């Protein structure tokens, strides 16, 4: 995936949140303006931009058509645990603390929310990180 752009309700709160999260995950800010924040790392990027005034008061909901959640791949279980500690210190809403999941052998993940309630996951899968065919469960 080349990049993902998220439209956020409270740009200042989201900029503060992603300004800590993305560099921690190894992404480097390349655009940081009053209405756009964009970070690049590895072979992908993530950006945020404010919602239009007509939609600024609308809350994100996972059940609507569109984004369900976004997952970042970690290099180790320890990276997931370190991220969890950072998020707890930042008083970020944790949906589930680091735990093993059934999606693949060794799957280890953390689920949390950004200031708009957009669900984000960080996971580690050993080896090549491929999920087992046929193993499936909704997050």
pLDDT of residue 133: 54
Tell which CATH architecture fits domain 69-129: Roll (3.10)
pLDDT digits (tens, 9 = 90+) for 26-78: 999 999 999 999 999 988 999 999 999 888 778 888 888 888 999 999 999 99
Mean of pLDDT over the chain: 90
b/e code 115-130 from CB counts within 10 Å (16+ = b): bbebbbbbbbbeeeee
Write down the domain spans for the chain.
1-51, 69-129
pLDDT of residue 137: 46
- The residue assigned the tokens 């996972």 is 62
pTM attached to this predicted model: 0.87
CATH 3.20.20.150 fits 1-51, yes or no: no
Contact call for residues 110 and 12 (beta carbons, < 8 A): no
Q: Give the mean model confidence (pLDDT) for residues 88-98.
A: 97
Query: How many whole angstroms separate alpha carbon 65 and alpha carbon 60?
Result: 11
| 92 against 132, higher pLDDT | 92
For the chain, the straight-line distance linking the first and the last C-alpha, in angstroms and rounded, comes to: 20
């Amino acid at each position: 995936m080349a990049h993902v752009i998220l439209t956020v309700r409270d740009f200042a709160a989201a900029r503060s949140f992603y300004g800590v999260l993305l560099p921690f995950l190894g992404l480097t800010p390349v655009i940081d303006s009053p209405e756009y924040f964009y970070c690049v790392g590895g072979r992908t990027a993530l950006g945020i931009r404010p919602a239009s005034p007509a939609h600024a008061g609308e809350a994100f909901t996972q059940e609507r058509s569109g984004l369900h959640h976004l997952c970042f791949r970690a290099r180790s279980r320890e990276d997931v645990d370190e991220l969890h500690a950072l998020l707890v210190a930042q008083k970020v809403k944790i949906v589930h603390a680091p735990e093993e999941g059934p999606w693949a052998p060794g799957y280890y993940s953390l689920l949390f929310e950004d200031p708009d309630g957009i669900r984000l996951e960080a996971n580690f899968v050993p080896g090549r990180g491929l999920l087992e065919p046929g193993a499936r469960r909704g997050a």
